[in-house]
Structure 1
Amino acid sequence: MTATTTSTSTTTRLSSATVRGYALGSVGTGGFATLPGLVLAYYLTDTLGVAAAAATVVVFIPKVLDVVLNPLIGSWSDASAHRTGGRRRFLLVGAALLPIFFALTFAVPDGLGTAAGAVWVAVAFIASAMAFSFFQVPYIALPAELTDDYHERSRLMAWRVAVLGIAILLFGAGGPELRELGGGGRWGYLVMGVVAGIVLGLGMFAASRVAPSRPTRTAATGGGVSFAASLRVVRSSAPFRVLLTAFALQALATGTMLAGAQYVATYVLGDERSVSILFVALVGPAVAVMPLWSRSVRAWGKRRAYLLASTLFFAATVALLGLMTGGGWWVFAVVALAGVGYAGMQMLPMSMLPDVISDHERSESGTARAGVFSGVWTAVETVGLALGPALVLAILAVTGFVSSTGDEHAVQSATAVNGIILAFSAAPAILTALSVVALLRYRLAAEDAHAQNRSH
């Protein structure tokens, strides 16, 4: 039996095909997590003319459905894996439907008014989020089923996050460029939505091919598919609750920074297209430093490495408060430092999640379900990322930001500009500091075992 189909082994190294195939799924997950967070709020306020407060509702409320839907999809995928031998059908459904609904999100017709356009975006984005959930939930469950090895999971996630970094660069920097190549305005967003949607679907389809095609250990016990059952799983694992809390706060922190980047580029740095440079600065280091984070796991363990990554990101966001006194080349250097921490904040918790699932399975005599864990995880992550743009829009509304239509940007007051800077720096800094406090409480047998091995 090859490593692609071997469920768990502490001695078998995952095949290169499995690692590559799984990593390609990050083209879909990274793209969908990045591009809407970067441009959707801006599309609503500066192209459709939706007021910031109303745009907050459009961006955030559709994602609230994921709180209920994702745990249910996790349970359904567990039950399906038990019956059919795999989760592939869920992955394929998401890969097929997401490109369609994603393109529709940015396809508001020219003749549609502001209110109707906001409704159009909300409905299409709900459908996009649902399609994405059908892929994302079983995708996150796969590592716990591919290997039990502490370091192989780090290797798997290192490759995944390296591709994630490339995907974020591709969508974060390339998305706005596609918008401009399409002529800007509504037509530019439509071109961006269609092209980006196709690329998302291709990456997701590639990842579906590595899904195990035999009954999984974590699905073998069956069980209910109710939301209440999912919550019981969360409550039963203290390490999961701690890790989830830290990751959720950081999802909100990064979501806030992503959503604020376009506003900083336009109204603070004075160049709308400099958002692409900001994204290269933030995500570019991820690919380069990923081997260093992998080595740090072997030297220090995942928890200590995760604390270091979080601290680096926190320090960089605090330094960005210097925008209050003016911009310059230093902004991109500080954002690059944040990118080094960001890389670890992506890789390390995702490699810790399978450890938590396996630990729970051992303690509960095989009753854990990977799908339920990943469903709750992705639900919280989705809400955190959605709250980022919503938090930015709320800060803008409070500080007097004036929305625009067409290609002309309204002149902003000094208070509104300061609000943009606070949304981009202070808000992520506070959220990251809270995540570090949560992470200090993380304890797991796998971490203790790794520490003992280092001491011998």
Structure 2
Amino acid sequence: MTHDLKRVPTRTAAAYGAGQLGAQIFRDTPAVLLPIFMTTILGIPPWLSGVVILIPKLWVIVCDPLVGVFSDRKKETWGRTRFLTIGAILTSVGFASLFAFVDYPGPYAAAGAICLLFLVASTAFSLYSVPYLAVASELSDDTHERTRILTFRMVATIGGVVIGVGVAQPLVFALGGGATGWHVMGYSFAVVCLISMLIPAIFLRGVPLLKSAQGPTGMLGQLGSVTSNKPFMILLATTFIQGIGMASSYTAIGFFYVYALNMVQIIPTFVIVMAFGSLIGQPIFLHLSRRFGKERCYVVGSALWMLVTTTWFFVEPQSPVVVTLPLIGDLTREGLLVLARGLFIGVVNTGFLLLSFSMLTDTVDLHRRRHGSANEGVFSGIFSAAEKLAFALGPLVAGIIMSSFGFVSSTHGVVEQSEHAVLGVIMLYSVVPVVTQLLSLLVFSRYRLNPEEISTGSVNWQDAARLEPSPGLER
């Protein structure tokens, strides 16, 4: 006998997804702009700027799983929302502090200060991001319903990318590219982060979550249970490898549009077009994943993304003007190709990113059904730590490559670079992410998850006890 589970209300899914807007800004803006801020305003060498970002990310490898263990233990008494509230406030303050100071005694003092500020801000973000990700596995026990919930998160992700990547750098440049521009961007974005990240903390109070039949075991037992989940470990390795390449290209975005394309003014339009493509891609991949399976759609989306990313290596910044568009102005042939790439990348990128998080919830659900306890916080903490580590290694890889190709840092904004230095930037935006994506798919080829071991909309009455909703996000 089966019992059909109730669909998660749209308002609940929307409230959950809204928190990702601010989280994505914190995730993306430092990854994209901190290297530029450090190399063009603070005079920090590119290789050292990579180290500055790496050290705090190494810390979160420890911090995220610990937050996951602690939040699992406090789930029944504190709820998840207390973590979300504290994390949202401290993360926003930390973000503002990163770009609030420029008057350091020298580049090495500046590097030390930024490293310390970023470490504190990253710790605060762990308090938010780990419990937040855990909630995605606790709102429903249906695999396709969780994908639907995560589409709201992806919409907010798109908004975060538009603001954090598409608006941030042009805003700084519009304000003169100096200290004032960086200060205004930092303070205003911190406010956006705070409002967005508080939405799930406030509006998800009392929302019922799935309850495990068994309470969390000791910390070593919780961590050991994760490593025994082979589908999770394969997915973890896959996304980690991907993340290194993507973070390398994220680091190079600002440099790529300034030096390789000489089209910094097109960044907002490019990001908006990419966001539009992402909105189109979500219902497509949601439908296709139901019909053909998440794994197949994930591979197809990744392969198509590699195909279009390869073309960035062949850009032609001196191409002729072919059209004049309202609000954009003159657009060259290469400019049109940039926007076409953005649309295509948006469609396929949302596919494999959405499905990677959806498959994460499947692996957590698998553990719940096999062992009676889900340990959502621990799974989310380890997954989050790996993602953050990858996005720390990316800037380090980018800094090493840029330095090896002769990129010159400065303390007074953008300066001219050699052709060899520009080639290094182009490789970071094209070759490096394609190679890492290909390697990740080789790892993912070993991913196996029996569809019979995850729920697709119904649950046996014998399992009712272990799937009984908990009192909510907060008691």
Q: CA deviation at 1:213?
A: 6.1
* Equivalent residue number for residue 419 of structure 2: 414
Tell which deviates more after alignment, 334-343 or 140-149: 334-343
* Equivalent residue number for residue 349 of structure 2: 342
* Equivalent residue number for residue 276 of structure 1: 268
The separation in 2 between residues aligned to 1:449 and 1:220, in whole angstroms, is: 19
* Equivalent residue number for residue 325 of structure 2: none
Tell which deviates more after alignment, 48-57 or 205-214: 205-214
Q: What do the CA deviations read for 1:131-173 (whole angstroms, capped 9, x no partner)?
A: 1110000011012211001111111011210221122112211
The separation in 2 between residues aligned to 1:149 and 1:315, in whole angstroms, is: 33
1:51/1:219 Cα in 2 relative to 1: closer, same or farther (>3 Å)?
Answer: farther
8 Å CA contact retained: 2:277, 2:345 = no
Tell me, what secondary structure is at the counterpart of 2:101? Answer: coil
Tell which deviates more after alignment, 343-352 or 134-143: 343-352
1:154/1:92 Cα in 2 relative to 1: closer, same or farther (>3 Å)?
Answer: same
8 Å CA contact retained: 1:172, 1:279 = yes
8 Å CA contact retained: 1:82, 1:216 = no
Aligned residues: 439
The separation in 2 between residues aligned to 1:55 and 1:111, in whole angstroms, is: 15
The separation in 2 between residues aligned to 1:447 and 1:247, in whole angstroms, is: 24
1:113/1:230 Cα in 2 relative to 1: closer, same or farther (>3 Å)?
Answer: farther
8 Å CA contact retained: 2:32, 2:250 = yes
Q: Does 1:356 align with 2:363?
A: yes
Tell me, what secondary structure is at the counterpart of 1:221? Answer: coil
Q: What do the CA deviations read for 1:252-311 (whole angstroms, capped 9, x no partner)?
A: 222222211111111111243433344334444112221111111111111111111111
1:324/1:437 Cα in 2 relative to 1: closer, same or farther (>3 Å)?
Answer: farther
Tell me, what secondary structure is at the counterpart of 1:441? Answer: coil
The separation in 2 between residues aligned to 1:218 and 1:48, in whole angstroms, is: 50
* Equivalent residue number for residue 68 of structure 2: 74
The separation in 1 between residues aligned to 2:266 and 2:58, in whole angstroms, is: 31
AA of the residue aligned to 2:403? A
More helix by share: 1
* Equivalent residue number for residue 450 of structure 2: 445
Q: Does 1:89 align with 2:94?
A: no
8 Å CA contact retained: 1:75, 1:371 = yes
Q: CA deviation at 1:45?
A: 0.6
AA of the residue aligned to 2:59? L
Tell me the TM-score normalised to structure 2 length: 0.87
* Equivalent residue number for residue 12 of structure 1: 6
Which residue, 404, 411, 421 being the options, matches 1:398? Answer: 404
AA of the residue aligned to 1:119? G
Q: Does 1:196 align with 2:196?
A: no
Tell which deviates more after alignment, 353-362 or 173-182: 173-182
Which residue, 127, 147, 151 being the options, matches 1:134? Answer: 127
Q: Does 1:242 align with 2:239?
A: no
Q: CA deviation at 1:29?
A: 1.9
8 Å CA contact retained: 1:166, 1:287 = no
Matches within 5 A, 1:116-265: 116-208=109-201, 209-210=203-204, 217-218=211-212, 220-225=214-219, 228-229=220-221, 231-265=223-257
Which residue, 374, 384, 402 being the options, matches 1:368? Answer: 374
* Equivalent residue number for residue 382 of structure 1: 388
Q: CA deviation at 1:41?
A: 0.5
1:301/1:216 Cα in 2 relative to 1: closer, same or farther (>3 Å)?
Answer: closer
Q: What do the CA deviations read for 1:189-208 (whole angstroms, capped 9, x no partner)?
A: 11111111111111111012
Which residue, 281, 294, 299 being the options, matches 1:289? Answer: 281
The separation in 2 between residues aligned to 1:326 and 1:239, in whole angstroms, is: 47
Tell which deviates more after alignment, 422-431 or 410-419: 410-419
AA of the residue aligned to 1:320? W
Tell which deviates more after alignment, 318-327 or 65-74: 318-327
Q: Does 1:311 align with 2:303?
A: yes
The separation in 2 between residues aligned to 1:215 and 1:170, in whole angstroms, is: 31
Percent identity at matched positions?
Answer: 30
Q: CA deviation at 1:36?
A: 1.0
The separation in 1 between residues aligned to 2:10 and 2:209, in whole angstroms, is: 23
